[in-house]
Structure 1
Amino acid sequence: MTAAEPEPGMTAAEARMTARTRAWLDQPALARLWDRLRDRLERNGLQVRGRLRLDGVTAAEREALALLTGRPYAGDTVSISLADLDAQLRTGAAERGLVEVVAELRGPLTDRPAARDARRATAEAIWTATDDALRSRGLADAAWSRPWLDEVRRAGTLARLAPDNGKRLIVQAVDVMAVLTGPASPDPAGMPGRGELAERVTGTAHGLDDGTLLSRIVLRALARSLELPTPQDARSRRELWEAAGVAVDRVSTTVLTLGLEPLGDESAVRLLRDRTRAGFETHLTLRDLTRITWRLAPDTEVFVCENPRVVEAAADRGCVRPLVCASGNPTTSVLTLLDALHAAGARLAYRGDFDWPGIAIANRMIGRYAARPWRMRATDYEQHVATARDRGTPLPPLTGTPVDALWDPELTPAMTALGVAVQEESALERLLTDLIPPCESPQ
Structure 2
Amino acid sequence: MTGTEQTDERPPDAEALAFLTRPGLTRLWTAARTRLERNGLRPAGTIRLEHLDAQAREALSLLLARPITGLTATIRLPDLDTRLRASAVGRSLASTLEELGPPLTDRRAVRDAAAAERARLRSTVQTAVEATSLSAQPWTAQWLEEIRRGGTLARQDPDAATTVIAQAVHTLATLFPGTEARPTPASWGRGELATRATGSAHGLDDGTLLSRLVLRGIALARGVAFPVDAPARRALWRMVSVTPDEVSSTVLAYGLRPVGGTWREAALRERADHQMETHLTLRELRTLSLKMPPGTRVHVCENPRVVEAAADVGRTAPLICTSGSATTVVLTLLDTLASAGCTFAYHGDFDWPGIALANRIMHRYGAESWRMRAADYEYLATRTQVVGTPQIALTGPPAEAVWDAELAPTMDALGIALHEEAALDLLLEDLG
TM-score with structure 1 setting the length = 0.53
Matched residues in 2 for 1:287 and 1:240: separation? 16
2:50 is matched with: 55
State the one-letter code of the partner of 1:227: G
Equivalences for 1:217-232 in 2 at 5 Å? 217-232=213-228
Percent identity over the alignment is 44
Aligned runs of 1:21-36 on 2, under 5 Å?
A: 21-36=16-31
Q: What is residue 182 of structure 1 aligned with on the other side? A: 177
- 2:41 counterpart of 1:46: yes
Structure 2 residue identity aligned to 1:244 = V
The structure-2 alpha-carbon separation of the partners of 1:212 and 1:160, relative to structure 1 and needing over 3 Å to count, comes to: same
One of 57, 77, 100 as aligned partner of 2:72: 77
CA offset digits 1:308-344 (Å, max 9, x no partner): 99x999xxxxxxxxxxxxxxxxxxxxxxxxxxxxxxx
Amino acid paired to 2:144: L
Find the partner of 1:245 among 241, 244, 247.
241
Per-residue Cα deviation, 1:413-436 (whole angstroms, up to 9, x for no partner): xxxxxxxxxxxxxxxxxxxxxxxx
Q: Is the contact between residue 103 and residue 109 of structure 1 (CA under 8 Å) also seen in structure 2? A: yes
Q: In the alignment, residue 87 of structure 2 is paired with which amino acid?
A: G
8 A contact 1:175–1:201 mirrored in 2:
yes
Query: Aligned equivalents of 2:216 and 2:74: distance in 1?
Result: 54
Asked if 1:117 is matched to 2:117, the reply is no
Deviation at 1:275, TM superposition (A): 4.5
| Superposition deviation, residue 94 in structure 1 | 2.1
| 2-structure distance, mates of 1:148, 1:209 | 20
Does the 8 A contact of 1:178 with 1:185 survive in 2? no
Find 2:190's aligned residue among 194, 197, 208: 194
Secondary structure of 1:53 counterpart: strand
Count of residues in correspondence between the two structures: 262
TM-score with structure 2 setting the length: 0.55
Within the candidate set 209, 213, 216, 2:209 is matched to 213
Partner of 1:265: none
Three-state SS of the structure 2 residue aligned to 1:114 is: helix
Q: Distance in 1 between matches of 2:107 and 2:27?
A: 21
Aligned to 2:91: 96
Q: Bigger shift: 120-129 or 211-220?
A: 211-220
Contact 1:35 1:106 in 2 (8 A): no
Taking the aligned partners of 1:105 and 1:154, their CA distance within structure 2 comes to 40
Shift of 1:54: 1.0
Letter in 2 for 1:17: P
**Structure 2 residue 81 is matched with structure 1 residue 86:** yes
Q: CA deviation at 1:122?
A: 0.4
The C-alpha deviation readout for 1:96-150, integer Å capped at 9, x for no partner, is 1111111222311111111111111101111101100111002124222111122
* Counterpart secondary structure, 2:74: strand
After the TM superposition, which of the residue ranges 139-148 and 129-138 deviates more from structure 2?
139-148
What letter matches 1:152 in structure 2?
Answer: I
Secondary structure of the structure 2 residue equivalent to 1:80: strand
* Equivalence for 2:295: none
Asked if structure 2 preserves the Cα contact closer than 8 Å seen for 1:56 and 1:76, the reply is: yes
SS for the counterpart of 2:17 is helix
Q: Distance in 1 between matches of 2:204 and 2:9?
A: 50
Task: Tell me if 1:134 matches 2:123.
Answer: no
Q: Could you say if the C-alpha distance between residues 226 and 107 of structure 1 is closer, same or farther in structure 2, counting changes exceeding 3 Å?
A: same
Letter in 2 for 1:93: A
Secondary structure at 1:139 match in 2: helix
1:178 is displaced (CA, Å) by 0.5
Q: CA deviation at 1:70?
A: 1.1
Q: Distance in 2 between matches of 1:104 and 1:147?
A: 50
Rounded Cα–Cα distance in structure 2 between residues aligned with 1:101 and 1:196: 59
Q: Does 1:233 align with 2:229?
A: yes
Cα separation, partners in 2 of 1:185 and 1:241, compared to 1, 3 Å = farther
What's the secondary structure of 1:122's corresponding residue? Answer: helix
Distance across 2 between alignment mates of 1:60 and 1:208? 62
1:154 aligns with 2:149: yes
Alpha-carbon displacement from aligned partner over 1:214-266 (angstroms, at most 9, x marks no partner): 1111111111111111111122112111112111126479xxxxxxxxxxxxx
Q: Which residue identity is paired with 1:73?
A: I
Inter-partner Cα distance in structure 1 for 2:90 and 2:57: 23
Q: Which runs of 5+ in 2 are unaligned?
A: 1-6, 250-261, 269-280, 292-432
* Structure 2 residue matching 1:16: 3-state secondary structure: coil
